[in-house]
Structure 1
């Protein structure tokens, strides 16, 4: 089976937002409430972690904290676009 590296890079380098089983998390999860104003929503933290898929529960579980929780929006890595040379 041949893999398309460009598609694979895009999937691996983008931010993922998935539910994670995590006891004793350093910050509370952000929950959007449409009835509240934007300034009353509360803080949304960005956390970089390592997680492992738990097949028996079909969920992700926390393994390791890779960085401190932050309020700063992270800069996401964008893979370079590879141009296909046209063969004449």
Structure 2
């Protein structure tokens, strides 16, 4: 069974990455090469299965030749669910 997106924001971010990558005619492997991020991670980002760090957002945006703001504009952090990458005390 496929893993679900970790949040609506992650799913939207991933869809924006995929859309721009397709506009440029790049494969996931091509985007991975251009950004210095492994292609399996790119796939997980596009499926909304990763909480992407600021540095990786900047690398992906640079490789997609887009302002990082376009990838995150209007997104909100989930309010009613625990963030998967956040440690609990």
TM class by smaller structure: under 0.3
Q: How high is the TM-score relative to the length of structure 2? A: 0.24
Please say which structure displays the higher CA radius of gyration: 1
Greater per-residue helix proportion: 2
Q: Which has the higher contact order (CA 8 A, sep 6+)?
A: 2
TM-score, normalised relative to structure 1: 0.24
